[in-house]
Chain A
Amino acid sequence: MTTLIEFLQINWLETLYKAWEHLYISLIAVLLGISVAIPLGIVLTRMKKGAGFVIGFVNIVQTFPSLAVLAFFIPFLGVGKLPAIVALFFYSVLPILRNTYTGIKGVNPNLLESGKGLGMTNWERIFLVELPLSLPVIMAGIRTSSVYLIGWATLASFIGGGGLGDYIFIGLNLYQPAYIIFGAVPVTLMAVLIDYLFAKIEQKVTPKGIKGIKETV
């Protein structure tokens, strides 16, 4: 116990910095993921064929060992934060993409017909009908993907990306439990906190009119 307190006394600033680094890597990756996966998901819903293929492909990407993916980018992007973010971004795409796709596909076709019949353009249908109605589902995807990424971001330290992973691997290599604990506990806390936060956001963005009646969405 005393070693833990000592560790904190010496390294608290660095721990905070590592935590920040960690958060920063994961969130940038998630943001990139959102900006790619949502439009892609919308595009997929407009495709008659090919949607299954793309989702299947992304599914396969998801099964690649994360360490391998991280290592894969080193020849192209070198080491550091950039390859870490890029690799994590690949992982964030799938849950968001899948939820965007299923969320929009799940919008009652009658509503789309009525939107079309009222003279909405394709864009207006996406922004006024499909996205608001599938937002809760999409948010759930973002939430899942953020929590995953916070966990995987620990691996970023392998390719010099920094983050709390540094502590965990130092601790493992040098057999220093304090390092392991101060690497793992903040990551866990962060994941729990982000999950909670996104759950709140999810609730907030659910349109008021559909809270009472989920089944018509």
Chain B
Amino acid sequence: MENVSKTYKGGKNAVKNINLEIKKGEFICFIGPSGCGKTTTMKMINRLIEPSGGAIYINGENILHKNPIELRRHIGYVIQSIGLFPHMTISENITLVPKLLKWKEKKRQEKAKELLKLVDMGPEYLDRYPHELSGGQQQRIGVLRALAANPPLILMDEPFGALDPITRDSLQEEFKNLQKTLDKTIVFVTHDMDEAIKLADRIVILKDGEIVQVGTPDEILRNPKNEFVEEFIGKERLIQTRPNVELVRQIMNKNPISITEDKSLSDAIALMKEKRVDSLLVVDENNQLKGYVDIETIDEKRKKASTIKDLLITDLYKVQADTMIRDTVQKILKRGVKYVPVVDETNHLVGIVTRASLVDIVYDSIWGTDDALITTIS
């Protein structure tokens, strides 16, 4: 069985009948206002809090029938206050769980060194004490301690909450990468929506002990289920992601300048001059996108060619009308292209996204007005 699946049903008030399945390798964020039961729910997974009803399964095994001590040793646990033991060295702290599991001293030492490397800390830290480290370093050690016995599942209770924003940011980044490389299942409790959006594969929004919405960050941002979720996400973020401008279809210029391939070069030049552009999208009689021509090619090869077909450049990036803006923007910015033609499923030219459209998006996200979108520039 590769699937980690869990079902909770808490009978008491703090958490009411929660049902959730978590897949292996998934990064789940529990989020909600204080007192919503997110920490309680998480702590039931390693039985720091005993569920009063229902059952939790890990790999098909009901954890309520397992020895809680054994269970916890095979689940990583990171808390907000870090909880490093001040009287133990870093290496002792990291290898605490392996020690409880009675690993050999040598194996533990190796593990400690290996883990320190993961967070770019040298072996010179092994013999230091927690108070000699900065907050960010301490929490790195806290994370390593959770990883030490190589548990498939890690629970994290606002692990980055007590850090300053800059440290938090870099740790989040680091940790997300770590999670991807190590392929751990993570249950992460936070009240910081930015953090959840940044890290989570799926976000679970809780309120009063009940799940309000479960979904990927995108789903939740685009379709907040109710007012509570909307409010919780915050207006600002909703504007940023603007559900109504998520798709290319909504921001593209619907009147791309195109020309059919059987037209002559002088027609093309005339059209360019008229529309004040330096390239033209080329379509066939059915409005199927074929490629493009630009003024430089025409200039170079004017003597040899007579129709556009001869100078057609077929190698071009295009996007479908239903793709996300994000991806299109990336293409424009990364590949340095000036525009991206937009096609439908059957390769019919339906529009174009130009750098000017991007300016609109930026303008819109800064000043948040809608009219900028309507303006079409090419």
Contact = CB atoms under 8 A, between A and B. Distances in A.
Interface of A: 108, 110-111, 113-121, 124, 128-129, 132-133, 207-210, 212-213, 216-217
28 contacts: A110-B79, A110-B81, A110-B82, A110-B83, A111-B83, A111-B85, A113-B48, A113-B79, A114-B79, A116-B72, A117-B48, A117-B77, A117-B83, A118-B77, A118-B100, A119-B72, A119-B73, A119-B74, A119-B100, A128-B85, A133-B85, A133-B87, A209-B85, A209-B86, A209-B129, A210-B86, A212-B132, A216-B131
B145 interface: yes
Nearest to B74: A119
B1 interface: no
Interface of B: 46, 48, 69-75, 77, 79, 81-89, 96-97, 100, 129-132, 145, 155
Contacts of A209: 85-89, 129-131
Name the residue among B48, B73, B82, B129 with the largest chain A CB count within 10 angstroms: B129
Contacts of B88: 207, 209
Nearest to B97: A118
Contact of A133 (B72, B73, B82, B86): B86
B87 A212 contact: no
Contacts of A119: 69-75, 97, 100
Contact of A118 (B81, B82, B86, B145): B145
A204 to B, nearest CB: 13
Contact of B46 (A115, A117, A213, A216): A117
A114 B148 CA distance: 14
Contacts of B89: 209
Contacts, number: 80
Contact of A213 (B71, B74, B86, B145): B86
Contacts of B100: 118-120, 124
B83 A208 contact: no
A210 B74 CA distance: 29
A217 B86 contact: yes
A207 B84 CA distance: 14
Name the residue among A113, A132, A217 with the largest chain B CB count within 10 angstroms: A113
Contacts of B82: 110, 114
Contacts of A121: 69
A121 B84 CA distance: 17
A208 B73 contact: no
Contact of B131 (A111, A118, A212): A212
Contacts of A210: 86-87, 129, 131
A207 B87 contact: yes
A129 B96 CA distance: 11
B87 A208 contact: yes
Contacts of A207: 86-88
